[in-house]
Amino acid sequence: MKFFRPSMDPAEGLGVLVLFRLIEEAVPSFFRPDRRIRIVRAPGRLDVLGGRAPGPGSLVLQLPIAEAACIALQERDDDLVRLWSPSRDGSRTQMLSMSLADLGLPGAPIDYAECRALFGGDPRDHWASYLLGALVVLARELGLRPARGAELLLHSDIPEGRGVGSSTAVAVVALRAFAQQHGRELAPAELARLAALVEAEAATAPVRPVDARALVSAEAGELLVLRGELGAVEQSLVVPMDLEFIGLDSGVPARGPRAAPPDGLDDADAARFLQLWSEQPTALHRQELGDLLFAAHARYAQRGCNEPSTDLIVDAARQRRAAGGAVLGAKATGRGGGGSVLLLGERGKIWYEALRIKKALLTATGHSAHVFRWSSPGASSFGSIELEPGGDG
């Protein structure tokens, strides 16, 4: 880098190198070249099974994706917070600023009703509620009283509204960035709880704390097993070398309800899936893994959470399996009613099956689907990167 020395060199494909480029281009118009910058990151995720039956014993199986939200934060000397988030399509504002005093800081922070009113105006500014809302939540819940503002750059390549945790990832990185600015490192369970508050109280968005916990605690290429609404981590299982998960964006925003009637079938299926997965299943057992995914998708329709585009993808996967293709099973991910579809199949070959189904979706709907193929580390595993002044010059 020209102006900074990074404390570590991240791998390509994690979104951080794009952030490096944006930072370099924004000196000195946004960032100062003589002051440290801290970078944090959180990936999106694919729901595999579970999470539909609320309660302390419910199972949730999730997998982190390569797409992620990244924040670069540099402290200011005054109380101004300047936010910058490049927009690909111009559908929202890209830069906003607000003084800490507008949030009641460093004195008594505004309450959550005031927070919602403050961020509930122009929909084009709604993205800022996840960032400034994180400051309000930290102040109200942990007693942080920040007196200095910050320059904050947000870059996310997680497709929005596709049921893969785009907004939750932003809430997670905003909380971590502001907490670290004030010398606090949030424990995973606490971070999940606070992220849920940011989404519910500041952004007025539906949320499950278990989703935030997954984005924090996940390991690259591993199936994370969580239990309960708060997502206590039970174990992390490596995906076998001959199997692979792929996600396909349906082109329709996820809009189904977060919770569904707890009939016990979701938990039973998740438990059976976990049992088969842990036993390194035989060919027949792997077929059952796929059956469990197809059955879970069928219940979306029974609960009114299905959508023609996701059904098209799942039906195409079912047809390919019947024809001897490399697909084992498929289901809608996230809350249903649109969003993305999870495919499970033979490693490498399922990629080509996904491209075949993507083409069928394009022909039927005109939508060219985003394909989620790779995995990446959760926020805790990634840690943070510090950019110290004095690069290559």
Residue 259 has a pLDDT of 46
pLDDT per position as a tens digit, 47-62: 998 866 556 678 899 9
Its sign, for the CA torsion 316, 318, 324, 328, is: positive
Under 8 Å between Cβ of 40 and 180: yes
CA dist 185 and 213 (Å) reads 15
The domain limits of the chain are 4-216+377-389, 240-372
Average pLDDT value for residue range 35-44: 96
The third-level CATH classification (topology) of the domain covering 4-216+377-389 is: Ribosomal Protein S5; domain 2 (3.30.230)
CA dist 271 and 226 (Å) reads 11
**Is there a cis peptide before residue 257, judged by omega within 30 degrees of 0?**
no
Q: Is the pLDDT of residue 145 over 80?
A: yes
Residue 184 has a pLDDT of 92
- Give the least confident one: 64-68, 120-124, 232-236: 120-124
CA dist 148 and 100 (Å) reads 8
Whole-number Cα distances in Å, 295 to 212, 315, 318, 326: 26, 12, 11, 18
Task: List the beta bridge partners of residue 226.
Answer: 60, 233
Which residue, 4, 49, 43, 3, is CA-closest to 268? 49
pLDDT per position as a tens digit, 272-330: 999 988 886 688 888 999 999 999 999 888 888 888 999 999 999 999 999 999 999 99
Q: What is the pTM of this model?
A: 0.94
* DSSP notation for 215-252: HHH--TTEEEEEETTTTEEEEEEEPPTTEEEEEEE-SS
- State the number of CA atoms in the 13 A half-sphere of 369 facing the CB: 32
CA dist 132 and 121 (Å) reads 14
Q: At what angle do helices 283-302 and 308-322 cross, to 10 degrees?
A: 160
Q: Is the pLDDT of residue 364 over 90?
A: yes
- Cβ count within 10 A of residue 22: 18
> Which architecture, in CATH terms, is 240-372?
2-Layer Sandwich (3.30)
- Cβ count within 10 A of residue 327: 27
Under 8 Å between Cβ of 103 and 147: no
**Is there a cis peptide before residue 33, judged by omega within 30 degrees of 0?**
no
Q: Is the pLDDT of residue 362 over 90?
A: yes
Residue 56 has a pLDDT of 65
Q: Is the pLDDT of residue 178 over 90?
A: yes
Q: Is the pLDDT of residue 67 over 50?
A: yes
Under 8 Å between Cβ of 256 and 336: yes
Residue 120 has a pLDDT of 78
